[in-house]
Amino acid sequence: MLITFEGIDGSGKSTQARRLVERLEQAGYPVLSVREPGGTALSEAVRRLLLDPARPVDPMAELLLFSAARAQLVAERIRPALDAGHIVVCDRFYDSTTAYQGGGRRLADLDWLHAFNRRVTGGLVPDRTYYIAVSPAVARARRAGRMDAPPPGGDRMEEAGEAFYDRVVDAYEQLARAEPDRILRLDGEQAPGTLHQRIWADLEALLARRYGTLTPGRG
């Protein structure tokens, strides 16, 4: 089972992804936790290129680099883990490309990206995507207050302007409306514990519907 987390930078999605992984491990499930871009030697090298504020990247090159990192991650780690019966929890997946490069960078429409993303992943589609929805203003305030926040100019993606993030949010909202059976939209302004419990309850129900059991090792 492939579970992905989406949302703009500062939404709290990474925190929720970590909490879910911990909860699954405590329950005895075999879990692989990965992030995008990253998770393999090649993908981590691409991550450093993409986030380097000193290295200008053309928007189309950006889309292709993110997608190359994803293709490697799927082939090298995600598919083998799924084949072995693991639950894979991924902090970002191809919806980020649709939102950030399609919406934020205005590179392509949703239909084109829909087909492109599935070519990149060899047809792999998340079983559930948790979209943690917050406004750009809330996310910006959270990023500014983070202990690990990069200094100004320290992260090329996080330093994008307000209009860029408005477009990213619009794209995420379009995705949530277009695929309600896959994407669960959650209010990211809820307390983290409350949000985690909502996610856990949904995943428990999904596991029960899919496998008819909550026995670890059947995910």
Question: What pLDDT, in 10s, does the model give residues 96-125?
Answer: 999 999 999 999 888 899 999 999 999 999
Is the pLDDT assigned to residue 213 strictly greater than 80?
Answer: no
Tell me the average pLDDT across 42-53. 93
Measure the CA dihedral 39/45/46/51, to 10°: 100
pLDDT of residue 219: 40
**Sequence ranges of the domains in the chain:** 2-211
Is the pLDDT assigned to residue 148 strictly greater than 70?
Answer: no
CATH homologous superfamily of 2-211: P-loop containing nucleotide triphosphate hydrolases (3.40.50.300)
Average pLDDT over the chain reads 91
For the chain, give the longest Cα–Cα distance. Answer: 51
Residue 144: Cβ-neighbour burial (10 angstroms; 0-12, 13-18, 19+):
exposed
Is the pLDDT assigned to residue 138 strictly greater than 70?
Answer: yes
Is the pLDDT assigned to residue 170 strictly greater than 70?
Answer: yes
Tell me the average pLDDT across 10-35. 96
Is the pLDDT assigned to residue 73 strictly greater than 60?
Answer: yes
**Spatial CA neighbour of 86 closest among 180, 1, 178:** 1
pLDDT of residue 151: 46
pLDDT of residue 143: 82
CA distance 161 to 145: 18
DSSP run (H or E) holding 13 = helix 13-26
Amino acid, single-letter form, for residue 73: L
